């Protein structure tokens, strides 16, 4: 099980946090990451509108040939995205813990402006402790 | 360690020059001891209701062991800092405002603590020795405010009038990450204000400041530096 990368997307579709852990992903510039996050936000909106069985919370997992992309949507509209290997089974629990850490280290930090990029040492440290190098 | 800011109490005495920075804390009066206007004292507000005693009539011992949600406090404290930061012009100013806010808490904490400890005692006593006061702050005040004792008291080697109380992981700063460009800021100035009020209330006037002193094991380690006034040391000499 490998965790490649973590993204946090704000409710407007902007990428506010992006961090790579294990090697293996194609290297992209920060601008390209922003575009991809915006696109994912759009795809998420489409999937939640398309649902045939009433309301839906939108896409949760996108599987590709070599990796999968797990999405956790919070009630406030913030999205946590975890890029992992296909074999990974505990992405959901990692995302839930990331959300916990986000609530503690970001939302309770007076020096963070909501919806803006996350620059908080506490968040970085605790995410580092949680995921480490991404190999489990 | 430099003391660029004037003593916070001076800002009260000479309020005219400081009015812009303090008025947001007490808009109606100018002293830091001012009570917020309390209509419930005279006309019971509709919240107090006929069956619920208002807050001034409640038994003070009822909340002796009560605890506050640390998450709720973290959000409140975060908001206090954001609110204050918008209304000050620099880090020193921000620390002084936090100190002032803490002072208002400290004076109440001291009164309540002494009332609870000595109120029913036949021979109530009051600390008059510096060391026992410091130990009381380190243990009892910290327990009353944070639910745990502080981690150490130290005496400065260079300056005999300086004492330090050290907290390895101050609960109020647990979720705060100070940005790099404000690295001298210590949000524990709030705690420093509490300590200053307690010392003041026991007639040990001092200037109390907070400083970040991180070590590898405790990145949030904070030192509360107490610089006692000369008169305190002179009196201490006489009491020996």
What CATH number should be reported for the domain holding residue B111? 3.30.1380.20
Quote the pLDDT of residue A95.
94
Q: Is A38 part of the contact surface with chain B (CB cutoff 8 Å)?
A: no
* Closest CA relative to residue B196, chosen from B211, B186, B208: B208
Give the residue carrying structure tokens 């050290």: B166
Model confidence pLDDT, tens digit, residues A13-41: 999 999 999 888 888 899 999 999 999 99
pLDDT exceeds cutoff 90 at B86:
yes
pLDDT exceeds cutoff 60 at B201:
yes
**What distance in Å separates residue B121's CA from the closest CA in chain A?**
42
> Which residue is closest to B78 within chain A, CA to CA?
A110
Q: Is A109 part of the contact surface with chain B (CB cutoff 8 Å)?
A: yes
Give me the helices (H) in A57-102, please: 91-101
Q: Is A122 part of the contact surface with chain B (CB cutoff 8 Å)?
A: yes
Cα A6 → chain centroid: 5
> Which residue is closest to A102 within chain B, CA to CA?
B175
Question: Per the domain annotation, does B26 fall within a domain?
Answer: no
Quote the pLDDT of residue B12.
43
Q: Is B220 part of the contact surface with chain A (CB cutoff 8 Å)?
A: no
Give the residue carrying structure tokens 């907290």: B167
pLDDT exceeds cutoff 80 at B211:
yes
Question: Per the domain annotation, does B101 fall within a domain?
Answer: yes
First-to-final CA distance of chain A:
6
B178/A108 touch (CB, cutoff 8 Å), yes or no? no
pLDDT exceeds cutoff 70 at B7:
no
Question: Per the domain annotation, does B220 fall within a domain?
Answer: yes
Q: What distances in angstroms separate CA A135 from CA A1, A22, A88, A132, one per listed residue?
A: 6, 7, 10, 7
Instruction: State which residues form the domain around B190.
Output: 68-238
Whether the complex's predicted ipTM is more than 0.95 is answered with no
Model confidence pLDDT, tens digit, residues A57-89: 889 999 999 999 999 999 999 999 999 999 888
> Which residue is closest to B181 within chain A, CA to CA?
A111
pLDDT exceeds cutoff 60 at B91:
yes
Nearest by CB to A119, from B175, B179, B182: name it.
B179
**Region of poorest pLDDT, from A125-134, B9-18, B126-135, B224-233:** B9-18
Nearest by CB to A109, from B71, B177, B219: name it.
B177
Sheet with A68-73, edge to edge strand ranges: A15-20, A3-9, A79-84, A68-73, A61-63
pLDDT exceeds cutoff 50 at B107:
yes
How far, in Å, CA of B144 to CA of B111, rounded?
12
A108/B79 touch (CB, cutoff 8 Å), yes or no? no
pLDDT exceeds cutoff 70 at B31:
no
pLDDT exceeds cutoff 50 at B10:
no
Share of residues in chain B with pLDDT > 90 (%): 58
Sign of CA dihedral A10, A16, A17, A23: positive
Q: Is B199 part of the contact surface with chain A (CB cutoff 8 Å)?
A: no
Nearest by CB to B78, from A109, A119, A122: name it.
A109
Quote the pLDDT of residue B183.
87
H or E, element range at B187: none
Average pLDDT, chain B: 82
Share of residues in chain B with pLDDT > 70 (%): 79
Q: What are phi and psi of B36, to 5 degrees?
A: -65, 145
pLDDT exceeds cutoff 80 at B77:
yes
Q: What distances in angstroms separate CA B130 from CA A28, A49, B9, B34, B51, one per listed residue?
A: 62, 69, 21, 28, 46
What number is the average pLDDT over the span B195-209? 95
Identify the bridge partners of residue A20 per DSSP, sorted by sequence position.
A5
Quote the pLDDT of residue B54.
83
Bridge pairing between strands B222-228 and B206-212: antiparallel
Nearest by CB to A121, from B78, B79, B177: name it.
B177
Domain count, chain B: 1
Quote the pLDDT of residue B50.
67
Quote the pLDDT of residue B44.
47
Asked if B15 contacts B28 with a C-beta cutoff of 8 angstroms, the reply is: no
Which carries the bigger pLDDT value, residue B116 or residue B42? B116
């Amino acid at each position: 099980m490998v965790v490649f990368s973590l993204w946090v997307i704000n409710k407007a579709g902007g990428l506010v946090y992006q961090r790579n852990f294990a090697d293996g992903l194609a290297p992209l510039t920060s601008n390209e990451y922003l575009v991809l996050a915006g696109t994912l936000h759009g795809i998420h909106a489409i999937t939640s509108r398309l649902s045939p069985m009433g309301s839906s919370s939108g896409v949760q997992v996108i599987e590709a040939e070599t990796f999968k992309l797990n999405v956790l949507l919070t009630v406030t509209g913030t999205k946590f995205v975890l890029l992992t290997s296909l074999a990974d089974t505990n992405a959901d629990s990692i995302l839930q813990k990331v959300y916990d850490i986000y609530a503690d280290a970001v939302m309770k930090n007076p020096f963070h402006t909501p919806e803006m990029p996350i620059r908080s040492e506490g968040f970085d440290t605790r995410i580092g402790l949680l995921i480490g190098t991404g190999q489990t | 360690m430099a003391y660029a800011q004037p003593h916070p109490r001076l800002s009260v005495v000479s309020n005219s020059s400081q009015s812009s920075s303090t008025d947001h804390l007490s808009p109606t009066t100018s002293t830091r001891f001012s009570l917020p206007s309390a209509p419930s004292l005279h006309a019971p507000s509709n919240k107090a209701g006929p069956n619920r005693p208002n807050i001034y009539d409640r038994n003070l011992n009822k909340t002796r062991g009560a605890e506050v949600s640390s998450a709720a406090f973290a959000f409140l404290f975060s908001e206090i800092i954001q609110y204050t930061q918008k209304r000050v012009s620099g880090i020193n100013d921000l620390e002084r405002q936090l100190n002032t806010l803490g002072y208002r808490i400290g004076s109440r904490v001291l009164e309540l603590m002494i009332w609870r400890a000595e109120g029913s005692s036949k021979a109530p006593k009051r600390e008059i020795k510096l060391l026992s006061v410091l130990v009381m702050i380190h243990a009892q005040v910290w327990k009353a405010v944070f639910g745990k004792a502080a981690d150490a008291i130290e005496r400065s080697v260079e300056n005999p009038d300086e004492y330090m109380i050290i907290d390895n992981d101050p609960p109020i700063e647990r979720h705060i990450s100070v940005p790099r460009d404000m690295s001298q800021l210590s949000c524990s100035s709030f705690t420093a204000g509490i300590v200053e009020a307690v010392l003041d209330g026991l007639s040990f006037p001092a200037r109390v400041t907070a400083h970040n002193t991180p070590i590898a094991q405790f990145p949030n380690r904070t030192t509360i530096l107490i610089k006692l006034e000369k008169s305190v040391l002179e009196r201490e000499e006489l009491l020996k």
